């Protein structure tokens, strides 16, 4: 999966240097040199993460962050500033997700970027290399995109399939609705939606004998859903 990172700094040398690291890791990089450019790019493209300087001409990083959040846009935002500019940072909650002091160590930056983006790397770190997952009578063949329950094939729609795959590949682990949303749609949930619940219902209709007493797809009250590990 392609992850898009926007790097925004008025120092072109920094932008260039960081881009190299990011591209090296396989990320798609977008570049901006002030807050206004950044906002434009965010409106035009699906950006997953923004690394933004605070001190910039035209529009600073704080203002840009607030504008982006006002528009209900949900990319992750990491702010950065020279350590002596700390006092410039006012206001308690402007909606950034991380902060780094300049000059920063590229390795640490990469570690933080990965840490932030972990929510999108759905099956990445957790997935087993195998193409077939199984738990109890539930089998999912990721190569043929086919799932079977007790040896009977079941047809799932794409979204349903992704949810089942996520839960089955990590059978036993409980995922909150937000987590499921983030990992399946690759977006952050803006407000608590019911859509995941509806999909869960549809899935149960297909894979459970008795949807009221699910054998596979279980709810953990007040927490989330999981596929039972057998």
Partner DNA sequence: TTAATTCTTAAGACTTTCTTAGTGTTTTGC
Partner DNA sequence: GCAAAACACTAAGAAAGTCTTAAGAATTAA
Query: Given the structure tokens 């950006």, which residue do they identify?
Result: 47
By CB under 8 A, residue 132 contacts a second copy: no
- C-beta of 183 vs 226, nearer to a second copy: 226
With a CB cutoff of 8 Å and minimum separation 6, the contacts of 189 are: 177, 178, 181, 182
By CB under 7 A, residue 145 contacts DNA: no
By CB under 7 A, residue 72 contacts DNA: no
By CB under 8 A, residue 157 contacts a second copy: yes
**Site for a second copy (CB under 8 A): which residue of 11, 124, 130, 185?**
124
Span between the terminal Cα atoms of the chain, in Å: 30
- How many residues bind a second copy (CB under 8 A)? The answer is 38
Minimum distance between the CB of residue 31 and a second copy, rounded to whole angstroms? 18
- C-beta of 45 vs 131, nearer to a second copy: 131
Residue 213: count of CB within 10 angstroms of its CB: 9
> What is the DSSP code (8-state) at residue 175?
B
Structure tokens at 198: 């509806």
Which partner in DNA, a second copy, none is near 112 (CB below 5 to 8 A by kind)? a second copy
Structure tokens at 184: 């399946």
Minimum distance between the CB of residue 207 and DNA, rounded to whole angstroms? 12
Binding mask 198-217 for DNA (x = CB under 7 A): xxxxx-x------xx-----
- What are the residue ranges of helices labelled H in 45-131? 61-70, 106-117
Burial string for 178-203 (b: 16+ CB within 10 Å, else e) reads ebbbbbbebebbeeeeeebeebbeeb
By CB under 7 A, residue 155 contacts DNA: yes
The candidate with the shortest Cα–Cα distance to 1, out of 107, 127, 109, is 127
Minimum distance between the CB of residue 224 and DNA, rounded to whole angstroms? 6
Binding site for a second copy (CB under 8 A): 17, 79, 86-87, 89-90, 92-93, 96, 98-101, 105-108, 110-112, 115, 123-125, 143-145, 157-158, 172-174, 220-223, 226, 229
């Amino acid at each position: 999966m392609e992850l898009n990172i926007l790097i925004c700094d008025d120092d072109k040398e920094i932008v260039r240097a960081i881009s190299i690291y990011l591209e090296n890791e396989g990320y798609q990089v977008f570049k901006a040199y002030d807050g206004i450019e950044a906002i434009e790019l965010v409106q035009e493209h699906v950006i997953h993460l923004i690394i933004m300087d605070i001190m910039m001409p035209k529009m600073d990083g704080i203002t840009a962050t607030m504008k982006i959040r006002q528009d209900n846009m949900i990319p992750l935002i990491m702010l950065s500033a020279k350590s002596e500019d700390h006092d410039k940072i006012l206001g308690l909650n402007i909606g950034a997700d991380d902060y780094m002091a300049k000059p920063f160590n590229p390795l640490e930056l990469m570690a933080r970027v990965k840490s932030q983006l972990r929510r999108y790397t759905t099956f990445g770190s957790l997935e087993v290399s195998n193409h077939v997952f199984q738990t109890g009578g539930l089998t999912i063949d990721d190569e043929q995109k086919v799932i079977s329950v007790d040896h009977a094939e079941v047809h799932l729609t794409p979204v349903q399939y992704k949810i089942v795959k996520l839960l089955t590949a990590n059978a036993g682990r409980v995922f909150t609705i937000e987590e499921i949303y983030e990992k399946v749609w690759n977006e952050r949930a803006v407000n608590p939606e019911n859509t995941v619940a509806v999909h869960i219902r549809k899935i149960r209709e297909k894979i459970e004998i008795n949807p009221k007493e699910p054998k596979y797809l279980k709810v953990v009250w007040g927490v989330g859903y999981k596929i039972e590990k057998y």
